[in-house]
Amino acid sequence: MRTLEPPGAAARTESDVSSEERDRLAITTIRTLAMDAVQTAHSGHPGTAMAMAPVVYCLWQHFLRFDPDDPIWPNRDRFVLSIGHASMLLYAMLHLCGVKAVNAKYERLGEPSVTLDDIKHFRQLGSRCPGHPEYRWTSGVETTTGPLGQGVAVSVGMALGSRWMGAHFNRPGFDMIDHDVYALAGDGCLMEGVTAEAASLAGHLRLSNLCWLYDNNRITIEGRTDLAYSDDVATRFLGYGWNVTRVGDANDLAMLSRAFETFKRSTDRPTLIIVDSHIGYGAPHKQDTSAAHGEPLGEEEIRLTKRAYDWPEDAQFLVPDEVREHFRQGLARRGQTLRAEWMTRFEMYRKEHGALADHLYKMQHRQLPLGWDQDIPVFEPSVKGVAGRVASGQVLNAVARRIPWLVGGSADLSPSTKTRLTFDGAGDVAPGDYAGQNLHFGVREHAMAAILNGLSHSKVRPFGSGFLIFSDYMKPAIRLSALMELPVIYVFTHDSIGVGEDGPTHQPVEQLAALRSIPGLITLRPADANEIVEAWRAVIERHHEPAAIVVSRQATPTFDRTRYASATGLHKGAYVLADADDGEPEVLLLATGTEVALCVEAYEALKADGIQARVVSMPSWELFEQQSREYHDDVLPP
């Protein structure tokens, strides 16, 4: 592979011309698809897709371990397009490589995940090619990347997931999980704070299977980056403990290959490849480079650009047959061979390490091991009760002991959130030692939430914890958990005024409403220890919804369930905890969490005064909403 050269370059041997022509043809196809799709949509960002086409081509065609026929093969390499606005770059690759659809809920199984017609309807309602890549909607998209920085932060979780699974499952002669993770980032990604948090942790953990590609094009939507950005990125990442290398021209395929080989040889740290590019490469007449980033090139500019590429000027969405065949002989053939070898190895692994193979299979299908809940405690009635965080920690430990891939930690708060796993063998994840179930995220709430998403993409079952007030720092990534239907577990403690002496900055007021406002997130605020038990049961059994369990710092009474209704009512979101003698209440008392005990006190006082009351514990508005109208009317009379 050699540097791309314009038409009319010096004569070469026939074999060289053939190799270079195949490279040039494939890269030009990617570029022209991006131009045509954005122009047809009258919306989008063609420049980055055009500039980075050689980089992604080189990676996919020559390095990525990926089978288009099975894009969810467990040991595939991951490619994350963190610069999601350059989505046409990914859609072009999914189309040209012939990636198959595998999500029965959203796609037709076995059909191409991205057809040429989908590309023609880029950014239109219902298209498989929305403005930013959406996980589940289009097979081959590894994660949703809209907000900048989220993709690279998620990739840290994916790399950590690979390392954790390798430490847990690999045995001599059986390297079942050892995949690499690549993420393409831009200036905007590197400006975002979540990226700094995630990069710092990745360097600390020495995630040598992680490679970020930095498109150093010096352009953002407002103009040149020097308006607001002058970081020495290389020095910054060296300080994080990364290996840093540079490719001076995004079109230099030979140098790109050397950079990827450098990454593959690195065994003690993640790698950042800084790629210098000119946005909208090949659009020789475009003077306003920021426009090439954020809007279509225009029909005349496209014709001139195609002329410079030696491409038919009036052809639209042209895909030569040779390009598809080229990818079939490269990426596809390599991926199919690697996947077939892995499947054969897995059958041998199943015979020699049956329990581990069963766990690996269950993880990939989001199933639970038999008896996962047999150690969950039952809490006896108590007026004094127990703190919600303490009860939650006990249940978490009982469950994690039976689900080895339930892995997580806190943003430096596990002594307070009680989320440290303390049973024998739980262990800690540390640099170079990834087998434990306890993760330490440091004071990095935002990155923690994004990394949890990456772990979930790897089929690890992750949890993360913090004070409820700090959910504000995590909300962007929590929202993406919900969009992607990832079963991430968030544990929030210190949920009310009873937070100790830290003052108003630590007192949650609007945070519970903010969590409840996120579509697709199940928010649970259990009333006592036994509701906490049922909250964990409800959460663990969910496969496609993230959940937030919100509990108290202070002790709350544990209700006598022989006198009041069973805590299993939690699974319906709301239930009648205590009722009027005749079932016809004069007043309804509704609450969640610690305030339910106050309602029970009021109920007893009203009952003594002859007033018929009903107490409704409503730990989850979302679960209650899922119930029938008849059930709603039974709990809350019309």
Catalytic positions are 445
**Cβ–Cβ under 8 Å, residues 293 and 50:** no
DSSP character string of 447-503: HHHHHHHHHHHTT-EEEEEEEGGGHHHHHHHHHHHHHHT---EEEEE--SS-S-SS-
As a whole number of angstroms, the distance between CA 569 and CA 531 comes to 9
As a whole number of angstroms, the distance between CA 619 and CA 573 comes to 6
Residues in the chain: 638
**Cβ–Cβ under 8 Å, residues 610 and 582:** no
Phi/psi at 440 (nearest 5 deg)? -120, 110
As a whole number of angstroms, the distance between CA 427 and CA 435 comes to 7
As given in the structure block, the two tokens for residue 513 are 């409403």
Max intra-chain CA distance, the chain: 101
As a whole number of angstroms, the distance between CA 244 and CA 237 comes to 7
As a whole number of angstroms, the distance between CA 636 and CA 175 comes to 56
Count of other CB atoms within 10 angstroms of residue 318:
16
Cβ-proximal residues to 515 (8 Å cutoff; 6+ apart), any chain: 471, 475, 478, 521, 523, 548, 550
Phi/psi at 409 (nearest 5 deg)? -175, -150
Burial of 75 (0-12, 13-18, 19+ CB in 10 A): buried
* Pairing, β 438-440 against β 587-591: unpaired
Give the CB-side neighbour count of residue 173, counting CA atoms within 13 A: 7
